[in-house]
Homo-oligomer: A and B are copies of this chain.
């Protein structure tokens, strides 16, 4: 007998839970793509997208996943043979660096490990050392989906300014956009990239690049950009198809329209605050479980550095995988695998797992997921400190 038969809850760090309104909006006939409603719909979405990133800049929409957005953003401002400086705080920082290398760009890595986030002083030092300003851009993950570290863009901007370095500041916001507080313009980010399938609550398949004037200038200085990645016509399309470099992704656009309505009806600041409170709910439970010699450990010790959208954590031995399997089979919850967490003792990273709490997530879903973790730890025999669920409920109660 299993207690899993019921509505399953997908608590992986993306794709996130799709709202019914989004799936319904996508369930409709193909539209005309040459004229009519879809044209006006897309034009009206552009300002709504920009309000999510808090920018007066422009946005290019791509049919691609996040890896495509990584490649596209670089392809517009860095030429083969040029250099970028990549702040690595987990697997996804490395991923962006590899995409750069695939374009023939030299990616110089500053590796900050997976526990403590970017040290802005070290970044500033590296920038000062680059006296010839060979770095065209500084890349970083706002949130690294693997480590669940959250890097504040402000100290990075300050480091660039202090060093007087003209490199563009490029933020990977794939796991953070519409989850974490973010003010692209106020915080001095030049390029921000994201995807549809996390905070934006739309199936994977769309990506977005937000650019400011400095980024546009950098594009204009490029000798050549491939037509699919070139953001120029996408930012300022004369014809509708130019938004998408060809055929429009009709059904994703229907879904995105519904998702933007949900976000702005709630209020983007409220969305951020909801994510923050639910993250604190999870932390409260996990810290209680880790007390009293409990096995549970959050990957990021400092709450100020923790993502509000994803949480990486460890249980020791193979218990991360065992717990994931137990809750999937017995309780209807799917957790994310640990990523980039292998150690010598745990070569497959099976002691780790991740909780996605991004997008369409409320107190019921989070408290239920935590309840199944407690049940699962008990069932598979993992020692855990007391009071985790009460602690979580206390955070929800205080709102």
List residues of A whose CB falls within 8 A of some B CB: 1-10, 12, 14-20, 23-24, 26-35, 63-68, 70-72, 75, 80, 98-99, 101-104, 195, 197, 203-205, 224-228, 230, 244-252, 262, 266, 270-271, 273-274, 277-278, 327, 330-334, 336-337, 360-372, 374-376, 378-379, 386-387, 389-390, 392-394, 396-399
CA distance A35 to B372 in the complex (A): 20
Contacts of A271 in B (CB 8 A): 5
Q: Residue on B with the closest CB to A271?
A: B5
- CB-contact partner of A277 in B1, B102, B396, under 8 A: B1
Contact partner of A368 (CB less than 8 A), chosen from B10, B66, B274, B367, is B367
Choose one: B19, B28, B99; the contact of A228 (CB below 8 Å): B99
Closest chain-B Cβ to A257's Cβ sits at a distance in Å of 14
* A68 partner, pick from B32, B98, B245, B334, beta carbons under 8 A: B245
Please state if B274 and A1 are interface contacts (CB–CB under 8 Å): yes
Can you list 29 A-B contacts with CB-CB less than 8 angstroms, sorted by A residue number?
A: A1-B270, A1-B399, A4-B363, A6-B362, A10-B30, A15-B30, A15-B33, A18-B30, A30-B197, A63-B65, A65-B247, A67-B227, A67-B245, A68-B245, A70-B228, A71-B227, A99-B226, A102-B228, A104-B224, A204-B248, A205-B249, A363-B371, A363-B372, A363-B375, A364-B365, A371-B389, A374-B397, A375-B396, A379-B399
Interface-central residue, A26, A29, A368, by most chain B CB under 10 Å: A368
Residues in chain B near residue A365, CB distance under 8 A: 6-7, 332, 364, 368
A4 / chain B contacts, CB cutoff of 8 Å: 362-363
Contact of A371 among B248, B252, B368 (CB under 8 A): B368
Please tell me if the beta carbons of B3 and A278 are within 8 angstroms of each other in the complex.
Answer: yes
**How long is the Cα–Cα vector from A251 to B266 in the complex, in angstroms?**
26
In contact, A30 and B363 (Cβ under 8 angstroms): no
Q: Which residues of B contact A225 (CB under 8 A)?
A: 102
Contact B3 A17 (CB under 8 A): no
Nearest chain B CB to A47 CB, angstrom units = 22
Q: Are B393 and A390 in contact (CB under 8 A)?
A: no
Point out the residue from B16, B18, B274, B372 that lies within 8 Å of A3, measured CB to CB. Answer: B274
User: Are A367 and B371 in touch, CB under 8 angstroms?
Assistant: yes
Contact, CB under 8 Å: B252 / A205:
yes
On whether A247 and B34 interact (CB within 8 A), knowing A28-B20, A331-B396, A362-B5, the answer reads no
Q: How far is the CB of A90 from chain B (nearest CB, A)?
A: 16
- In-complex Cβ contact of A389 among B71, B102, B249, B389 (8 A): B389
